[in-house]
Amino acid sequence: MGKLIKYAAALAAVGLLGVATSARATITFTPPITVSSANIVGAADILQTDTAQGEITTVLPIAQQLLDLVAGYDGLIGGRRYRTSSVDYNGTLVLSTAAKDGSGNVNVPAGWEFVAGKYDGQNAGYILFYLGYQDAVLPSTSYAIWGNNSGQFGLSGWYAFNPIPEPSTVMAGALLLLPFAASTVRYVRRNRKA
């Protein structure tokens, strides 16, 4: 039993060391930004016919469309202009993984992979940011995605999303734990007989 406790303590120490060394800096965006700026998935224009601008029913499909498009896309889909960065991002977003801030707050806490920011009412559009679960300070204006006026098109709110884990990722995690589980079962069986 003493060996088991020492073994568990060693594993806990390794885990804590991993947490301590994985600290990351806050992501900040230096204006002017473009769809080619680091950590930007892409941008989509507002349509004047959008009846629920800034609501999840509008933002979620736009964010998903940006993730589904190929890198470097610039074109119209359903009358809305979409532009994506040269980096190919992907994932499947769901409503149950979303958090909202509609106050214009630029700070996003850690724990989210993607954030869709809505900029300036009926004039600009949406920008999808990749945060990779880090905290971030979003740009307060969309300068220069929809024009070169640095004070134009302010952030009115954002939704943060985490994608559904891919089945292959879940399976890989389970396979990594399999040897540990097998050795634990052997250890318990061996000590029961003694």
Q: Mention every residue, 6+ apart, whose C-beta is less than 8 A from residue 43.
A: 35, 66, 82, 83, 125, 126, 127, 128, 142, 145, 146
Summarize pLDDT for 53-107 with one digit per residue, the tens: 889 999 999 999 999 999 999 999 999 999 999 999 999 998 888 999 999 899 9
Please say if the pLDDT value at position 27 is more than 50. Answer: yes
Label residue 180 by pLDDT band (50, 70, 90): low
pLDDT of res. 8: 43
> How many Å apart are CA 110 and CA 99, to the nearest integer?
12
Percent of the chain at pLDDT above 90?
58
pLDDT of res. 52: 86
Please say if the pLDDT value at position 16 is more than 50. Answer: no
Please say if the pLDDT value at position 129 is more than 70. Answer: yes
Structure tokens at 144: 């220069």
Structure tokens at 66: 């940006």
The SS3 assignment for 62 reads: helix
> How many Å apart are CA 73 and CA 61, to the nearest integer?
17
- Calculate mean pLDDT across residues 155-171: 78
> How many Å apart are CA 25 and CA 134, to the nearest integer?
8
b/e map of 30-69 (b: 16 or more CB within 10 Å)? eeebebebebbbbbbbbbeebeebbeeebbbebbbbbbeb
Amino acid at 56: I
> How many Å apart are CA 191 and CA 114, to the nearest integer?
48
**pTM summary value:** 0.75
Percent of the chain at pLDDT above 70?
74
